[in-house]
Structure 1
Amino acid sequence: MNVKQYLIEKGKLAKSASRKMAIKETHVKNTALKAMAEALMENKNSIISANIKDMENGRQKGLSQYMLDRLLLNEKRIYDMANGLNEVASLRDPVGEVEKMWRTENNLQIGQIRVPLGVIGMIYESRPNVTVDAAALCIKAGNSVILRGGTEAINSNTILVNIIKKAAIENGLPQGCIEFIEFTDRQVVKEMMRLNEYIDVLIPRGGAGLINSVVNNATIPVIKTGVGNCHIYIDESADLKMAEDIVINAKTQRPAVCNAIETILVNKNVAKKFLPQLAEKLIKLGVELRGCSASKNILSNIKLASEEDWATEYLDLILAIKVVESIDGAIEHIYKYGTNHSEAIITNDYKNSQRFLKEIDAAAVYVNASTRFTDGSQFGFGAEIGISTQKLHTRGPMGLKELTTIKNIIYGEGQIRE
């Protein structure tokens, strides 16, 4: 197989389709999305059969319980994917929206309208639902998409793409609007990251290794998503029952997602009161605790944390604990080890809450709430393609609007520049 030529052919199809997608009327895109949803439900048994192969391969490779959970497709999750397609169909189409209009001194009328990004390349791991979510959002925002999923989900992703692609084309969308890289060879990814002529933007979604590889090696513009070394700081003024509930939710509700917390920072003045009762509940829930020397003095049965622990996104039932002198120590720790994803403070001190909001550099900063809310649907945006942790061109949950850009349009009456 000539990898480069294979990718060029995929790129040509997607690029040609992107020109047609950019001018597709909303009702055509919505009809296709609804047909894709119906097709998923009609083929649920075939999807589950393909997923069983991936699950068995995952077990043989020693994937953790939580990574296997990310990989699993059952009837409910297929229904959720289909429902997600219908929800995207119901969302307002951003393409063609006029952001603003104004007149200049020389009587030019200038406007800014929303247009698609073009061809979006998605490189992602583990979760086969991303295949459907990404395709749906790219289509509704008028883009075409090239998908490259992880090796562990190859059977699931292949059948999902075959089903939704067929339904999309049969219902008015162009050939090439959804392209899929069937090969799992890493060389394919390396070549894909240099396909500047055909891909307008790359969105990696997965662990730190994948995202860093794409950011460091791609010659195409990249939107970083996903890596979530998230923290909660328990201030000395915190309602400790509230803090306990939030920590338990943010760590255990779904530990293998990017908005789950990996470290708690506890003010020294409440550590002795707070940590024993929290630790007892977390340990009962199967959480392994690793702490600094001060927290280990309070919780003698936990592991001593290493420097690596502070920088690790566990995606598992493991939690690091550090006792800090004050909010200053918490902010410094987050600046050193955080990944600009989601950070939270639990406090009844208004001054500290405002300081945390202003000084913490992250896509989402919370006061007295779980980091698990960093999600497009929870924010009221509808579905999302990922959580951008960078500052250009978007930050936070990436919904439909974030998959478009601005075009300047100018109306004149014969004006020339002197």
Structure 2
Amino acid sequence: MKTLSLETIGQQAVTAAQVLSQLDTRTKNEALLAMAQGLTTNEVAILAANQKDMAQAEVNQVKKVMLDRLLLTSERLQAMAAGIRQVATLADPIGQVTSGWQTQDGLQIKQVRVPLGVVGMIYEARPNVTVDAATLTFKSGNAVILRGGKEAIATNIVLANTLRDALTSVGLPADAVQLISDTTHETAQELMQLNDYLDVLIPRGSAKFINMVVDKATVPVIETGAGNCHIYVAEDADFKMALDIIVNAKTQRPSVCNAMEKLVLNSEIAADFLPQLQAALTPYNVTLRGDERAKAILPDIEAATAADWGTEYDDYILAIKVVDNLDEAIAHINRYNTKHSEAIITNNYAYSQQFTKQIDAAVVYVNASTRFTDGFEFGFGAEIGISTQKLHARGPMGLTALTSTKYIAEGNGQIRQ
């Protein structure tokens, strides 16, 4: 992909967005299937590029747990293609009438879903975001400008070119998907201030990265991603269920934002539960850090510091807070969480209802792993991010979250008196 100025990239995106906004659903779905086929056909080149990125990351001493975010395998690539195909089966939100009515003056008013226009994505070492973002923005009638991190640049270039070739093959503008190949900080900041062309910017990455984008951007930003996720185990919880959920939420893929980072535990069961938890997590080499009450039960674990409670580890580390009741648990979680995903393990219906009502987070679980906070798992096919804010969109963002609405008012000569 040749190097272009951001001004040119922005102009091309606006032009492509105008075309996309007029496409019918069948045309969009045909293009999506071509994209999915492109990933499968081009697997060898994509995985070769990814190995190049992986090798460089190891030279740069990127943490092993973070390498997992960067790695593509044949299975992961096929899952990405399956995600595209699932998006093709989803209802097209564009043109949907969300409401309609007649005014006292006889005007027929309806509210209709329309694309946002041009979406900017700025993200770190996760090449799957390239495909997820392109897929969802395309189906929702938006053009996308992608700016991935330097760690995945070789992979992202091949992925973006594969998707662009698929669009060209079905007669659609390749510039619906554009990747900025310059990974310098200066270019990133220029993208954050591309007000004449971007309608919205969506960052994905660490809390530090997202905060930096929010601070420097002059275009509208949807905050996503940072996940300091808690699980509260109540005094009536089924131990086996709780242990199974915690092992899954902490160890299945600790580098992702929906992984568990903190355990909040009721004091009534702490003495019985914590030794079983330590035994369950030992095979995964999880480092436990506990407050004074947890350390009194497990003296060999590390002492948690004040900084631990607000930290997203993205690693095999779990901090433990012991509390006396549900109210204390909710207060602790709401103080330190990032409004991403929180869970309670309980058999008490009243507890579950209080927890779901009072916890301030995009997704709240009862007796389930936080790892389910994902667009594919929610049935969206993919996600462009998990919004942790409250305006416009919240939680896993699928097709509808990439639309706006406009009002269409039809009359027969009415004038306002």
TM-score, normalised with respect to structure 1: 0.97
Count of residues paired in the alignment: 415
SS in 1 for 2:175: coil
Q: Deviations over 1:255-282 (max 9, x none)?
A: 1111111000001111001001111111
Match status 1:403 vs 2:407: no
Q: Distance in 2 between matches of 1:247 and 1:52?
A: 32
Residue 324 of structure 2 aligns with which residue? 325
Q: Matches of residues 151-190 of structure 1 in structure 2 within 5 Å?
A: 151-190=150-189
SS of the equivalent of 2:321 reads strand
Which residue does the alignment assign to 2:53? 54
1:278 partner SS: helix
Query: Whole-Å Cα distance in 2 between the matches of residues 190 and 308 of structure 1?
Result: 30
Q: CA deviation at 1:412?
A: 0.6
Q: Which moved more, 1:389-398 or 1:25-34?
A: 25-34
Distance in 2, matches of 1:394 and 1:288, equals 35
Where 1:228 maps in the other structure, the secondary structure is: coil
2:387 aligned residue? 388
Does 2:374 correspond to 1:358? no
Tell me the equivalent position of 1:142. Answer: 141
Match of 1:6 in 2: 5
Which range is displaced more, 112-121 or 307-316?
Answer: 307-316
Secondary structure of the residue that 2:187 maps to in structure 1?
Answer: helix
- 8 Å CA contact 1:259–1:372 kept in 2: the answer is yes
Q: Which amino acid aligns with 1:125?
A: E
Amino acid at match of 1:160: L
Displacement of 1:369 in angstroms is 1.2
Aligned AA for 1:333?
H
Deviations 1:199-235 (A, max 9, x none): 0000101111111111111111111111110001111
In 2, Cα distance between equivalents of 1:281 and 1:242: 12
Judge conservation of contact 1:124–1:149 (CA < 8 Å) in 2.
yes
How far apart in 2 are the matches of 1:40 and 1:345? 39
Q: Match for residue 302 of structure 1? A: 301
CA contact (8 A) 2:83 2:376 kept: no
Q: 2:202 corresponds to which residue?
A: 203
Partner amino acid, structure 2, of 1:339: T
Letter in 2 for 1:236: E
- How far did 1:349 drift? 2.0
For residues 175 and 34 of structure 1, the distance between their equivalents in structure 2, rounded to whole angstroms, comes to 15
Provide the rounded CA distance (Å) in 2 between the counterparts of 1:207 and 1:300: 32
1:22 equivalenced with 2:21 (yes/no):
yes
Corresponding residue of 2:246: 247
- Structure 2, unpaired ranges of 5+: none
Aligned to 1:280: 279
Deviations 1:270-313 (A, max 9, x none): 10010011111112221111111110111111100111111111
Give the structure 2 partner of residue 236 of structure 1: 235
- Is the partner of 1:176 in helix, strand or coil? helix
Q: Secondary structure at the match of 2:5?
A: helix
Question: How many angstroms apart in 2 are the aligned matches of 1:97 and 1:134?
Answer: 22
3-state DSSP of counterpart to 2:264 = strand
Asked if residue 115 in structure 1 is aligned to residue 114 in structure 2, the reply is yes
Q: What secondary structure is seen at the aligned counterpart in 1 of 2:289?
A: strand
The corresponding residue for 2:100 is: 101
Residue 86 of structure 2 corresponds to which residue in structure 1? Answer: 87
- Deviation of 1:122 after TM superposition, in Å, equals 0.3
Alignment deviations for residues 52-94 of structure 1 (CA, whole Å, 9 cap, x no partner): 1100011111122221111111222221222222221121111
Contact 1:28 1:172 (C-alpha < 8 Å) held by counterparts? no
Query: Contact 1:29–1:173 at 8 Å: present in 2 too?
Result: no
Preserved CA contact (<8 Å) 1:28 1:173: no
1:273 aligned counterpart, secondary structure? helix
Kindly state the Cα deviation for residue 118 of structure 1 after the two structures are TM-superposed.
0.3
- Quote the Cα distance in structure 2 between the aligned partners of 1:64 and 1:326: 37
- 1:43 corresponds to: 42
Letter in 1 for 2:278: A
Partner of 1:321, secondary structure, is strand
Asked whether the 8 Å contact 2:87–2:380 carries over to 1, the reply is no
Tell me, which stretches of 5 or more residues in structure 1 are unaligned?
A: none
Name the aligned partner's letter for residue 263 of structure 1. Answer: K
Indicate the residue corresponding to 2:412 in structure 1: 413
Tell whether the 8 Å contact from 1:265 to 1:321 is kept in structure 2 after alignment.
Answer: yes
Following TM superposition, by how much is the alpha carbon of 1:332 offset from its aligned partner in structure 2, in angstroms? 1.4
Q: Is the 8 A contact 1:263 1:321 kept in 2?
A: yes
Alignment check: 8 A CA contact 1:232 1:345 kept: yes
Percentage of matched positions with identical amino acids: 56
Please report the RMSD computed on the Cα atoms of aligned residues, expressed in angstroms: 1.3
1:231–1:264 contact (8 Å) kept in structure 2: yes
Residues in 2 aligned to 1:315 and 1:391: alpha-carbon distance in whole angstroms: 24
Q: Secondary structure at 1:358's aligned position in 2?
A: helix
Residue 220 of structure 1 corresponds to which residue in structure 2? 219
Q: Is the 8 A contact 2:83 2:381 kept in 1?
A: no
Instruction: Confirm or deny: 8 A CA contact 1:118 1:143 kept in the other structure.
Output: yes
Q: Which runs of 4+ in 1 moved over 6 A?
A: none
